[in-house]
Structure 1
Amino acid sequence: MKYRLFIWIMWPSFLVSILAEGLLFSIVHPAELLFFGHHPNISDEGIYTIGFFVIWIFCSFSSALTAYILPGINADAKNSDKSLI
C-alpha cells in the first residue's frame, strides 16, 4: 500500500509539473530571469531542469496533502483485510 500511495502522489504531480513548466517557460525566457539582481550563470537547459524539479516538488506536496486529508485510505485498507476473513 505504501508504494501505491507513493505512485498516487508522484505520478499526477509529474504530469501537472510538465504542463506547468511548459506554460511557465512559454511566457518567461530563462535569459530574462534575475535572482537577487543577477542573471544566474547556468545554461537555459539547466534553468529548465531546475525549474521542472522545483515545480514537481511543489506539485508533489499538493498531491501529498490531498492524500493526507482524504478520508478513508487507511480505513479502506483495513476493511478489505477484514472482508477476506
Structure 2
Amino acid sequence: MAIESPADIPGKFKCIAVLWPSFVTAAIATGVFFSAFNPKELFPFDMDVELSEIGYYSIGFFLFWLLTAVSGFGTLYYAISNCLNCTPGSKFKD
C-alpha cells in the first residue's frame, strides 16, 4: 500500500498512533499523580464520596487518558491539515 499523502493513511492507523501512546502516558501520569496525592483527600468542601481506591485510580486514569488522547488527536489534526496545504517539494507554511 503506497501512501502518498497523510490523507491516505487509514483511520484505524491514525487512532492507534494516538491512543496507544496516550494510554502509556496516562498510565505513567496516574502513577506519578497518585504517588504524590491521596485520592481521598482531593475532594473540596469535605464532600463524602463513597468510592473505593480502585475507583479513584480508574477515574483518574481515564481522565488522564482522555486528556492525552485529545492532545494527540489535536496534534494529528493540525499536522495533517498543514501537510495537505503544502505543495510537493515545498516547505511547511508558517
Normalising by structure 2, report the TM-score. 0.71
1:13-65 deviations in Å (ceiling 9; x for gaps): 11111111011000001221214531321000100001100110010000000
Tell me the number of residue pairs that the alignment of Structure 1 and Structure 2 aligns.
75
Superposition RMSD in Å: 1.9
Unaligned stretches of 5+ residues in structure 2: 1-9, 89-94
Unaligned stretches of 5+ residues in structure 1: 80-85
Cα distance in 2 between the residues matched to 1:9 and 1:67 = 8
Check whether the contact 1:9–1:63 (CA below 8 A) recurs between aligned residues.
yes
Give, as a single letter, the amino acid of the residue that structure 1 aligns with 2:18. Answer: I
Q: Answer yes or no: is 1:54 the counterpart of 2:86.
A: no
| CA gap 1:42/1:61 in 2 versus in 1, 3 angstroms | same
Q: Normalized per residue, which structure has more helix?
A: 1
Cα distance in 1 between the residues matched to 2:39 and 2:48 = 9
Runs of 4+ that moved beyond 4 A: none
- SS of residue paired to 2:43: coil
Cα distance in 2 between the residues matched to 1:6 and 1:38 = 38
Normalising by structure 1, report the TM-score. 0.78
